[in-house]
A and B are shown apart, each in its own frame.
Chain A
């Protein structure tokens, strides 16, 4: 049987629970019976279909189309006949059952069609209730007349069903009206008539213009609802439900608007717009997915706040730069040399000396970048000074030189461009003028998605408020400033001592290592051989910790403290590096450099594993059997050290820049290191670190990193430029050996590879007489631009001030207006109250009654009318206020009160 195949809807079940058991049995009964039931079944099917049609005005079943229409016509006829018969017949018990079955099945069909509308229905039920209730009674009446012995429960079920229909009809108000009219007027033929009207509403083609208009309005309303949903003060659940419903509604009925060909086109257009939007969204998602490590960083950001995330973003940025540097060196130097240069062993500079050959493949030697590693494309000693290599006549020395210069130039460009962009973003903001407002409205970091971090953030905001209040008080008191100053000076002094100590230690160690080198490294232990690297790495690791402890003395805001910390670590690293270079200056040892970088990397990783991971493991698992809470108390988990890590990164990069000219392998090494760092640190930070206690936003510190990077870049290119310009290349200087100066390769190329006029032009262009004015012009241009931008900035600030003043003025105006309105209101009220008073009370005890009245309601006691005359004109705001206050106070605190509100007659 057709109806039996329909799935029972959840909603229908719980709405019509009473009918369900009966229904099943009756349906079975019915299926056993044949013959005259056919009609009924047909009518059922017909009803079902009608509802289906109603459920989806833009009916999907266009495939069924005309056939459907024919069938429907037939069925309608039959149904009419049936209903007429039904009217006349006196029905037996059997009939009752049938009726029930019919209704319930109808309901089933109905509910199934309305699965989507169910929720809307619920929402609208509230409104529909009254109307539905009214209609219910009508229905009952009708029902009773239709089936002479209609059961009560049947009626009940019926009403529920009708209610469902009701709500649906509400969407198509016109239909509702029409059908209801019909219901009231011709009760006998009601069902058939209703069928007709509903049949009409089913097909969009058959809708009249005004119906269409209404539908359009409804669709527009839904669209508006979707747009404004975000601002609605509803719970999220309701919002989601409403959104889904509205979207479905719009989707369903939007296509129905328009007529004939236009309709199809319209539907097509709508569909295409939707597809296009979806594509755009997907494309955005795809773009985000393409950014490497984006999701990882976002996750970290949600756990640790933006300051930690800024480190990883910085790391990623650095990785990108190194990738480009690596691409340059690899593509233009290493690959051509490996492909086209002379192979290993062909010339002395490409061969490991016989004395070293036995140990050249030992790991220890390779680790120190000796042996085969030294005689490879990794170091520039391997490259031949041959002017052109291979069948392509690749100018190797020139390429090498230009790549070296290009690397540095590119780095400068990128850093400066980023700085400029950051500076633009930061805008003009004054942090000082609305301290508390800023704190109030902008403290929260909305990227936090972890409860623990949120707790921390909450706590830190609270503390910052407390501190700010204290600060405000302090600034007014203005005592203790001397102590703070003293402590800050003391802290800086201590830091300086540390720096000097570490500098001296490095100097000492480097000198000692030179002595070892003279003795021959084989005679010394591993510790002694690696002393320099070890000491430098250890100092670089521990001194920042000490600075951190010392900086607690200074009592700065964490953002300021972070900058100080960064500055100090910067000084430390720089000092150490330069001590190292100066102590080595007479024989810059390239191998030493690479070793330093490698050992630095290794110490970072080892410290990560020991300091973070091991500690976390110990804290976590020893906590079960320890006498105090290790997690919350003493060792605890480590925090992520943003400043140390950033500086580590920056200095590492500085060393890469410094050495990249002499060892083309360095960018490759750095890429590898950064890649590993990314994964390792991401893992470590998520697995062993806890969010910082004072989570703060990193905005503004980015440019600080960049500035540091710029300084480092400058300082690290200095030695390279110095050597290029001043020192004549030796035999070991690979591509440049045999030349007076390294930059001679350019001259050589100009002379031999370019036409004579070009070199002439070049020599003219490089004439100091031409270069100097050019530089002067550039300086002037820079100065001009600088001053213009400054004036713009000033104008901005002025504008801001003006806006501010305007705002203040407006506020004052509003306040005045509000005050006036309030006063007017009060006046009116007092007048009214007094009038009442006069009616109820005698004049003698008015004072007392006023007092009582006030005590009860807490309202302003109504003064007598006589008072009103003496009141000042309403335009003068401040005058009634003391009066008002006085009235408020008097009843509570002054028992023997005889104030102004006392009648004076």
Chain B
């Protein structure tokens, strides 16, 4: 029989653990307990619930309001591991600086980061978004459509662009220079988002053959943390990365991708740094985003 006094002596330990790891407990509650409870009650998946909320609150065609709606839902209602507003801003900045034309996103989840990236891309860029889960992909597609970065509209305009392009040349040749050029280019260079529903390790080797890519300017990784490292190696092997290609990986500290970090440290192919931040929609859990710039073999 253990005496009660000894048990009492453990109270400080218990308190310490509770206080020190409070954010983790909160996260556990929000991300797992609440999710299971709501799943049982509503019969919908978490992503579907999020979509419903966004649909009811956000303005269609306005990516900012969609992102805001997501942020509010993830902050107040439930937890979805999107990139979040804080790290999202870092991502936005990198995209603005880089101005990539071919972007690959691994792990679209429910489209938050897709919209976020698409919003920051220059005109004429292409974004390939890879999602493994069928249901999530469906939601992501809806979200992208809602935001106006729709694939169909792009396709429709594709034919238009060619005809316009010819017209444009005509204008340039014949009519006054400045006026028409400015009006035409806005329709000429349309952003294109393409959603690929397949696991990333199947998609990457086929990017060159099936999608006609020969270089990726920007890769954003936010899928399974375990596949960061193999996918990166696959990208290196595929030859799609050129000098100056940027790779950004989210959540490298929490939940964390130690193998990935070890790989980038060892390989010497990259100039890299980790942007330290906190986990999305949580204050106390530290997380980081790895920014890699491919340097090639020296």
Contacts and interface: CB of A to CB of B under 8 A. Distances in A.
Interface of A: 498, 502, 505, 508-509, 512, 525, 527-528, 531, 534-535, 538-539, 541-543, 545-546, 548-550, 623, 627-629, 631-634
Contacts of A550: 19
B256 interface: yes
B8 A631 contact: no
A629 B2 contact: no
A629 B6 contact: no
A629 to B, nearest CB: 2
B254 interface: yes
A521 to B, nearest CB: 14
25 contacts: A505-B8, A525-B1, A527-B2, A528-B3, A534-B9, A535-B6, A535-B9, A538-B10, A542-B13, A543-B12, A545-B13, A546-B13, A546-B15, A548-B16, A549-B15, A549-B19, A549-B20, A550-B19, A628-B254, A628-B255, A628-B256, A629-B225, A629-B257, A632-B253, A634-B24
B5 interface: yes
A195 B159 CA distance: 91
B143 to A, nearest CB: 26
Interface centre among A525, A531, A548 (most CB of B within 10 A): A531
A623 B262 CA distance: 14
Contacts of A538: 6, 9-10, 13
B251 to A, nearest CB: 9
A334 to B, nearest CB: 36
B158 to A, nearest CB: 43
Contact of A542 (B3, B10, B21, B255): B10
Contact of A508 (B5, B12, B254, B257): B5
Contacts of B254: 628-629, 632-634
Nearest to B24: A634
A512 B3 CA distance: 11
Given A542-B13, A549-B16, A549-B19, A629 B256 contact: yes
A628 B15 CA distance: 24
Given A629-B254, A633-B253, A634-B24, A539 B12 contact: yes
Interface in B182-202: none
B237 interface: no
Contacts of B12: 498, 502, 539, 542-543, 545-546
Given A508-B5, A546-B13, A549-B20, 7 more contacts: A527-B1, A545-B16, A546-B12, A546-B15, A628-B254, A632-B253, A632-B256
Nearest to A463: B276
Given A527-B2, A531-B3, A546-B16, A629 B9 contact: no
Contacts of B258: 623, 629, 631-632
A544 to B, nearest CB: 9
Interface string B34-55: 0000000000000000000000
Given A509-B5, A539-B9, A629 B16 contact: no
Nearest to B8: A505
Contacts of A632: 253-254, 256, 258
10 A-B pairs with least C-beta separation: A629-B256, A628-B255, A538-B9, A542-B12, A542-B13, A545-B16, A546-B12, A549-B19, A633-B254, A546-B16
Contacts of A634: 21, 24, 254
Given A525-B1, A629-B253, A632-B253, A531 B16 contact: no
A216 B128 CA distance: 75
Interface centre among A502, A512, A525, A632 (most CB of B within 10 A): A632
Contacts of B5: 505, 508-509, 512, 531, 535
A629 B13 contact: no
B6 A527 contact: yes
A629 B20 contact: no
A773 to B, nearest CB: 53
Interface centre among B1, B15, B254 (most CB of A within 10 A): B15
Contact of B6 (A531, A545, A546, A628): A531
A882 B16 CA distance: 63
A539 B16 CA distance: 12
Contacts of A505: 5, 8-9
B159 to A, nearest CB: 46
Contact of B3 (A527, A539, A545, A546): A527
Nearest to A633: B254
B55 to A, nearest CB: 31
Nearest to A550: B19
B255 A629 contact: yes
Interface string B270-296: 000000000000000000000000000
Contacts of A535: 5-6, 8-9
Nearest to A505: B8
A628 B11 CA distance: 28
B16 A534 contact: no
Interface in B32-89: none
B277 to A, nearest CB: 14
A633 B286 CA distance: 8
B276 to A, nearest CB: 8
B256 to A, nearest CB: 2
Nearest to A528: B3
A527 B255 CA distance: 41
